[in-house]
Structures are given as C-alpha cells and as structure tokens.
Chain A
Amino acid sequence: MNRKTSYLSQLLLFALIALSLSSCFSPNVQNQNNPTTSVGTPRDQTLIVQNFDGKTDNADIMNPLMGNYAIWRGFRELGWGYLWEMNTATGQSYPELADGMPQVLNPQHTLFRVNLKHGIYWSDGVEFTADDVIYTLDTYFKDKSKLTYFGVPVITSYVKSYKQLDRYSFEVETVNPAYDFVTTMGVYTWGSAFNIVPKHVFEKQADIAAFKNTYPVTLGPYTVKSFDPNGYWQLWQRRPDWQRSAWGWMGEPKPKYILYKDFGTEETRTLAFIKNEYDVDTFMSPDSIQAAQAKNPAITTFSPTMPYNDMGDACSYGILMNQEKAPLNNWQVRWALALSLNLQSVGVNALNGQFRASALPMSDTHILRPIYFTPLLPWLESFKLPDGYQPFDPNFATELTGKLKSMGMSDSQLPQGDQAISEAFGLGWWKYDPAEAERLLNSVGIKKNSNGFYTLPDGSVWQPELVIPGDWNKVMERIGFSIGDSWKKAGINVNVRQQDNGQFTTVQNTNSLLTMELNWNSCVFNANYLNSWRSIQPENLLPANSTSSINGNAFRWNNPTVFSLIKSSEQMEENSPQFYENGRSIIQQFIKDMAYINLMNIPTTIPTNSYYWKNFPKQNNYYAAPYTWWSSFKMIVLHIQPTGK
C-alpha cells in the first residue's frame, strides 16, 4: 500500500471514529435519561403536534383581525376565547366567555342580550369585560375596509347596532332575524367570525391593520413562549393563572408546554413519529401510518378496525358540477355520472378502503345520522328516477366489507355486525350501473361510438374535464385519478386535470373554467345546514361562461323549490322539527337533481403516539373529535395524561 493510499485510509478511519463519538454527544442520545425537546422544554411536559399547514409565512403576525395571521399555530385553540364554543362530540354550542345562552329580546329575533362570565382575565392580568367586546365591534366597523379577517365582513353585514349595558353585559341588534346568533358570534365548526381583542392593547395602536401583535395577550390558558420567525414551530406555555382564562373553568390543561412543529415530508414525519419525537400527526397517509405502527406499537389510529380513522369532519368530498354548462345542465347526465362511478373501487384503490361513503350532500357523522340519514333511509331505498330505476344501494357497506375480506383483511381488522359495518362504511351509496347510465345518456342524445366512448348529439366525443388537486392534497389526487379511471371504463372519456392550489379555487369560482371539480363544497357539521347552503339562491347564479367570480351557490343550482325552502328555514329555530324537515326536503331535491355527487366523509387520518401522553380521543374513548385544529383540542389537552416516561 503506498503512502497516499495509507494516508487516505487513516483519514477515513479517523472520520468514522469521530462521527461515532459525535453521535454519543448529539442531543438525541445525550438526554435519553432526561429528554428535552428541540426547543429546550422537558419532553414529558410537552405535547408536540404536527402543524396543520407545515410552514407559515407570517410567523410573527398574531393579530386575529388580519386574515393571514399565523392561525394554524394554535391561536384558535389555545390563545383566544369565544363567547360560545362548539362541543365537537355533540355538535352543541356551550358558553365559554358568555354566561349562558343569549336572551332573545324580541319576537322578530333581532335583539339579543349577552351576559359575560366574571373573573376571566387576559394573560397580562387585565380583566376581560364587555369593554373588550364593544371595542372589538367598534374596530370591526371602523376599520372594515382595512381588516382582512373573514369575520369582519360577516359581522358587519350581520350586526345592525350594539350597545354596552354594563361591565359584563351588552346588547346586539341584527340586520335580519337571526336564529344562528350563537354560531355567528361564537363558533360554528372550526372558527368564529368574532375574534375578541384586548381593548387595552389594541386601542394604543395607530394602525390596527399594521399591528403584528407578536407575543399577544391571550384569553386562553396558554401564552406564546417562543416561535420560529421562519414559521416552522411555535411553543406555547401554560399560564400560571390558567384558572382565570377563558376556559380555565373547565379544568387544568395537562401539558405545561405545547409545541406546534413541522416535521417535514411524509417520510421524515414517519421516522420522527417512530422515534417518539412528537405525539399527534395531521393527515398522515394510511400507508405511512401502517409503516409507523409496524415499528412503534405506541402509535395508534382512531379505531383498531377499518376504516381506522375518524370520519367526523364537517366537510365531505364530492364532485362539483357546473350545472349551467351543457350537457351537465341535464339531470340525466349528472345521474349517469354518479351511476358510472364505482365508489367501491375508488375507495379501495385510493384509500385502501379506509372511507365512509355518504350519498347525502353532507358527511355521515354520529351527529347528523340521527337527524338526516336515518329518517331519510326509507325514502332513499324506495327512491326512483323518473324512468323507474331505483339507484340506491343499501348494501354498499356490506359489499365493501366482503371485498376487503377477499383482499386478505382478517376479521379482526374489519367491523363485525350490521351496525358496526354501517358505522364504519356508511348507510349506502349509489349503485354502480353503467348500463342504466347509458340509458340515461342515450335519452339526451349522448351515445357510444364504435370505440366505446360517449359522443355528444353533434357527433363529437364527449370529453368532460375533471379538475383535481395536485400534490398539495395527495388523498384527493388519488381519489380523482381513480374516479377518472372508473368513468373511462364506463365509456366517459374524461380528462382529469391536476390543478395547483392557487388556481384550484379560481376554477371553482369561475363558470368559464369549471366543468367538474373534485372538492369539498358541503360542510354541514350539526343540524344547521344553512351555514353551508344559505347561498343557494338565484342571485348568486352567473351565465354559463361567465369569467367573473361567483359569491355563492358553488353548486350552480337553479331550483326554485330549494330557494324557497332555504328562505323559510332562515325564519326557524335551527333545532326545531320543521327546520330539520326543511333540511330533509332540501336533501331530497339535491338527490333528485343530483346537484352534487357527494362521495364520502373526509378521512381525517390523525394517528397519535402514546409514549409520552395517553388518553387521546379514540372510538372506544370518545370525548371529542381527535383534531388538533378544532375546539376539540381544548378537550384533548384537558383529558390527556402524562405516561410518566
């Protein structure tokens, strides 16, 4: 061996030894007996969650009156307080800052009195009072042209006048009769239009819109301890006086620290999860969850059996169709599309069968099922198209279970019994019947050519476009391609086009660009469907090839019966039997017209790691939805316990 080679070999050996020694002193190994997080807090006192949005570009903007503040860093869950919150387990509102439900002061339902709880304090020690509420309302109205938070135009078009009565009460008059006062001034599903800000801080600012509010004064039991200015992580610390916070009356939040962090791509997230570097993920793919579980038994899904994941999200995936554009303006064509879609195959190919089908234009959840799904089941089973065909398949869930079993899934992985099967996979969906689809299409002059593809009455091949998300939503991407495959097999020469995030909404909102889009346009969380369907009105319709953006009625649905039902629902209490009945009637119209091909609940894949924390909400331990970006997170931090590791 010559000198150079010998020198090189010694150098290489030295480098290897140095690297080995350095691994003994790396933070990961050094602190195994007393682990700390990467931000220096004790690991056993820190709950670590994966960011919902990865990275934020506005890490230091914590002003809730500006739309682009770092909203996904836990402000809504840990920092702010709301007049009324939403119990995600029941879909019912409960008072948080308010002392009880509002008093309705007139029969027109436009005047309300709200009393506030006493003894709630901002994190800087100043008491929360009606002064803050009135100041916030004043700011909403005074600066509405500058403030970009969505709630500002909502509240300013909803509230007519307001006045403070005393330190702990105020009155609000609404523009129109309001039966949704609690969910508009408070929380409906995820967020609230009304973010109350501290008067004593904001009134000192020259320009509210330019005020960053970094390290804000909070009403919640946590304050921001530190954050990454590049937007990858944020650390919250429990207030010493958490009992005086907006929801301190509910109990002690268990983690002393909560860290929101981005763990990178799916691959690095999976590895970090296996290594117990964080506790709750957000929308991890089923394949990665499976890989992680194989390496770390502390990682669990919502349920031990299929479909493994919680299906309680307010929104559902569906196919949005531009009903203004021919041939989609024919109900026969829309129904043909639904009957040509093999949802079983789509769900198995795209989601490994981990989905719950929903034929109604909403998610099939434990909250909505007793109100809308179960009462409508007899109607669905007997429902016929005008040609006498019965499209509903009540055995969808059972057939799917059989399919999964034939693919090799064991009984222990599958739900057992009719009840469990329907809770897992839904109450049914539309039949996969390309023959009936062909009859419907033929009836409007769309016939198959010699190549097996449908042609329009003018002889040209029918090539509808289906826009799907690009890789910014991998689950929907896979579903979209599977749907395209299903339709092509049935003879519909669909062009599936991926679209980037920015253009996706432009397509949704522009008639000239939209033919069909895989989207989540129906978000009904509790019985109040108006929040999602209120905009289905004729004034929101635009011409078929309009290049202007729509402001509502994303379904492009022109149905006078529905318009009238919605108008009458707006005059009803949202929990009244008549309100529910109107809702069911609207659903029936949705189905008769096939105004929106609802597919499934959004599968929310939220695996947890119970190495450091236990008692996360699961199917057999259900006290809240398992999402870290909803009000449910408040329940989670109250209920979880340290494992002592």
Chain B
Amino acid sequence: MGFLQYAAKRIGVYFLVLFIGITITFFVPRLMPTNPIDNYISQMQSRAGQTLTPEATRQLRESLEQLYGLKGSIFTQYVDYLKRIVLHFDFGPSLSSYPRPVSEMVFAALPWTVGLLLTTTVLAWLLGNLIGLIAGYFHNNRAASVLEVLGVVLYPIPYYILALIVILIFAYVWPVFPLAATFPSGGLTFAQFGTILYNSALPAMTLVLAGFGWNILSMKSLAYATKEEPYAVFARLKGTSDWTRMTSYVFRNAMLPQITSLVLSVGTIFSGALLTEILFSYPGLGLLMRTAAGSGDYNLLYGTITMSIIAVASAGLILDLIYPLFDPRIRYR
C-alpha cells in the first residue's frame, strides 16, 4: 500500500472518529440532570430577589423554550445540529449567554488558549528534553544528577500548589508580576502584545514548570538507555565527539516517543487549562467548558467539546502522516 492509499484510509478513519465524537457529544449532555431553562430562570429569580411571580415564570419559560430551540424530538434536534455543524460550523447561540453565538465565544477564547498553551507546551517540551538529555547522557556527572533531582522534585507537585508558590514568590514577596492579570481593553492585539506578555508570564511560568518535570524524567531514561545501544557505543569507540553522539545518535533516536507525546499534547491544548484559567484569571476554553457543564448549556458544550475532538483527532492524523520524517525506518506498504 503506497502512501496515498494509506493517507486516504487514515483520513477516512479521521472523519469517522469526528462523526462518532460529535454524535456522542450531542447525546451525552442531554443525559445530564440539568435544565438550561431552569438554570436561567434561577438566575433571574436571584436578580429579582426571589420575587418572580408564577405568571412571569411561566411566560419566561415559554419564551426561552422557543428561543433556545429545544422544542421538537431529540432526533430532530440531532439532525438540525449535524446540518448546522457540517454545513456552517454553527453551534447556535449559547444558552447561558443567550443570544451570543457559541462560535463567537469559542473563537474569542481560542487565541488565548492556543497562545498560552502552545507556547508553554513546546517550551516545557524543549527545556525538559534538553535537561533530560543532558541528565541522561552525563548520568555519572554530579551536575546531571542535580538536574534529575529537579525533575523528580517538580513532577509530583500538584499544579495548584506549584501555582500558588509561583504567585507567592513572583507576585507577592518579589512583586515582579501582577497578582491578578489585567488584560487590556481591546483584547488580543499586536499593539497590546507587551502588556499581554507581562500578564501571561506567571501562568506561562507555572505551566512550563509543571510540564517539564515529566519531560526531564522521561528523556533522561530514554537517553540513558539509548546511550548504551550498540550503535552509540560504536560511535564512542570510533572517537565521535560527545556533542555529536549526544545530538545525532542519542537524541535523534530517543526523541521519537517524545515527538508522539508532544503532538498529542498539542492536540489537547484545545481543552484549555481550567486550573490555570481559574488561578490566574486567564481567559480560555477551560472556563468556557466549565461554565457550559455547570449551567447545562448544551450548545456551548457542543462547541467546546467539538473543538477539542477536532484538535485531538487532527493531531493524531498529522502525527501518523509525518512520522516517517522523524523515523526513516517507517514506510507505508
């Protein structure tokens, strides 16, 4: 089977995965014991000081049922939903933020999530693998042991605790960064890039610290094992320099599983980083999902989860298609 045949089959599987994922996404939230209309009415009751009359409640309920498009059988709603997504990529209005379109909310949050998480994921991967490589290659060196200890210490620290430590050190004791981010009016623009960077530094730092511990430990093990492979030993006996052996022999081979892990991690960034967003008041998809799940906002759940499914499925597809570039031993037959 040539590459084209493989790619066609793989893309077919990709679309099948999307279809199954989107279908499950539609039905599962409907099983939640949540009624978005009740949730909205309760908010209104709260604002009305619990004084909404039964007549007003009835009227509001009827209007909302009409506006939210929740009338009709579940199958009819499913077919409409599929049509809207496939033909227009339209998830309808958010039920908790009616009448704001879901796509508007998702695309407003997406650049923040992608910007932060893509940067920190790649950075954590690069830093972690570099440190892990050095720690694994020079495993007899005391400095390398210190680097390994760094990974061992950072990795098990719960993210929440790590974030609070970073906040305490860099925003309170040593106030280099703000305690609470203030992103500029006007949103994500190049003109405001400096301010955005400054306010994103703390969450980014925490994500990198939380992420690179695992990369250090995994790369260290891989590097250590790969260094003892016969071809690496042969290179040493041949008189190849440490640098060439470390990069071209050890890292080149040890990085293969790390590449897989990186691509899959990039796929999952579209789920957002809920804890980060809560702790640092950072806008993103995680909070949107949380709001959607908490308020029974079906449409917003569909939008955010579908983005995530598309991202992870696409990451898997891309990985499958580009893997031969990293591992020339792989060929499609």
Residue positions of A touching B, CB distance < 8 A: 4-5, 8, 19, 22-23, 26-29, 38-39, 55, 57-58, 61, 66-68, 71, 144-146, 148-154, 156-157, 188-191, 193, 209-210, 226-233, 261-265, 267-269, 271-272, 275, 277, 314-315, 472, 500-510, 513, 520-523, 525, 531-532, 534-535, 537, 539-540, 549, 551-553
Q: Report A-chain residues with C-beta under 8 Å of the C-beta of B67.
A: 145-146, 148
Q: Are B293 and A230 in contact (CB under 8 A)?
A: no
Q: Report B-chain residues with C-beta under 8 Å of the C-beta of A272.
A: 179-180
User: CA separation between A534 and B184, bound complex, in Å?
Assistant: 46
Interface contacts beyond A157-B53, A501-B295: sample of 9 additional A-B pairs, CB < 8 Å, sorted by A: A22-B176, A146-B67, A153-B63, A190-B49, A264-B278, A264-B280, A268-B171, A505-B35, A523-B50
Query: Would you list 28 pairs from A and B whose C-beta atoms are within 8 A, ordered by A residue?
Result: A22-B176, A23-B174, A23-B175, A28-B178, A29-B175, A39-B182, A57-B94, A57-B96, A58-B100, A67-B98, A145-B67, A148-B63, A151-B48, A154-B48, A154-B52, A191-B49, A229-B186, A232-B281, A271-B168, A314-B49, A500-B294, A505-B35, A505-B39, A505-B41, A520-B50, A532-B51, A549-B37, A549-B61
Q: Are B96 and A38 in contact (CB under 8 A)?
A: no
Band of interface residues on B: 35 or more
Q: Report A-chain residues with C-beta under 8 Å of the C-beta of B73.
A: none
User: CA separation between A29 and B42, bound complex, in Å?
Assistant: 45
Q: Mark B44-74, 1 if CB is under 8 A from A, else 0.
A: 1101111111111111110110110000000
Residue positions of B touching A, CB distance < 8 A: 32-45, 47-61, 63-64, 66-67, 94, 96-100, 105, 108-109, 112, 143, 164, 167-168, 171-172, 174-187, 278-281, 283, 287-288, 291, 293-297
Q: Are B63 and A144 in contact (CB under 8 A)?
A: yes
Q: Are B52 and A228 in contact (CB under 8 A)?
A: no
A467 to chain B, nearest CB (A): 11
Q: Are B59 and A228 in contact (CB under 8 A)?
A: no
Q: Report A-chain residues with C-beta under 8 Å of the C-beta of B294.
A: 472, 500-502
Q: A263-B180, A268-B179 are in contact. Are A68 and B98 (CB under 8 A)?
A: yes
Partner of B38, one of A152, A271, A505: A505
A632 to chain B, nearest CB (A): 14
Q: Report A-chain residues with C-beta under 8 Å of the C-beta of B53.
A: 154, 157, 534-535, 552
Q: Report B-chain residues with C-beta under 8 Å of the C-beta of A521.
A: 50
Most buried by A among B48, B94, B109, B168: B48
Q: Report A-chain residues with C-beta under 8 Å of the C-beta of B181.
A: 232
A199 to chain B, nearest CB (A): 22
Which of chain A's residues has its CB closest to B50's CB? A523
Q: A157-B53, A189-B49, A509-B38 are in contact. Are A145 and B66 (CB under 8 A)?
A: yes
Q: Report B-chain residues with C-beta under 8 Å of the C-beta of A148.
A: 40, 60, 63-64, 67, 98
Partner of A153, one of B45, B60, B291: B60
Q: Are A230 and B187 in contact (CB under 8 A)?
A: yes
User: CA separation between A261 and B167, bound complex, in Å?
Assistant: 18
B141 to chain A, nearest CB (A): 8
Q: Report A-chain residues with C-beta under 8 Å of the C-beta of B44.
A: 67, 149-150
Q: Report B-chain residues with C-beta under 8 Å of the C-beta of A531.
A: 49-51
Q: A68-B97, A506-B38, A551-B58 are in contact. Are A4 and B143 (CB under 8 A)?
A: yes
Q: Are B59 and A153 in contact (CB under 8 A)?
A: yes
Q: Are A229 and B108 in contact (CB under 8 A)?
A: yes
Partner of B287, one of A55, A149, A261, A502: A55
User: CA separation between A8 and B67, bound complex, in Å?
Assistant: 63
Q: Report A-chain residues with C-beta under 8 Å of the C-beta of B291.
A: 57
Which of chain B's residues has its CB closest to A8's CB? B143
User: CA separation between A315 and B51, bound complex, in Å?
Assistant: 11
Q: Are B94 and A144 in contact (CB under 8 A)?
A: no
Q: Report B-chain residues with C-beta under 8 Å of the C-beta of A263.
A: 179-180, 281
Which of chain B's residues has its CB closest to A630's CB? B49
Q: Report B-chain residues with C-beta under 8 Å of the C-beta of A230.
A: 108-109, 112, 183, 187, 283
Q: Report A-chain residues with C-beta under 8 Å of the C-beta of B47.
A: 71, 150, 190-191
A260 to chain B, nearest CB (A): 12
Q: Are A262 and B281 in contact (CB under 8 A)?
A: yes
Q: Report B-chain residues with C-beta under 8 Å of the C-beta of A57.
A: 94, 96-97, 100, 105, 288, 291
Q: Are B143 and A264 in contact (CB under 8 A)?
A: no
B290 to chain A, nearest CB (A): 10
Which of chain B's residues has its CB closest to A531's CB? B51
Which of chain B's residues has its CB closest to A232's CB? B281
B97 to chain A, nearest CB (A): 5
Which of chain B's residues has its CB closest to A189's CB? B49
Closest CB pairs A-B (n = 9): A505-B42, A150-B44, A552-B54, A153-B59, A38-B182, A230-B283, A531-B51, A189-B49, A523-B50
Which of chain A's residues has its CB closest to B279's CB? A265
Q: Report B-chain residues with C-beta under 8 Å of the C-beta of A55.
A: 281, 283, 287
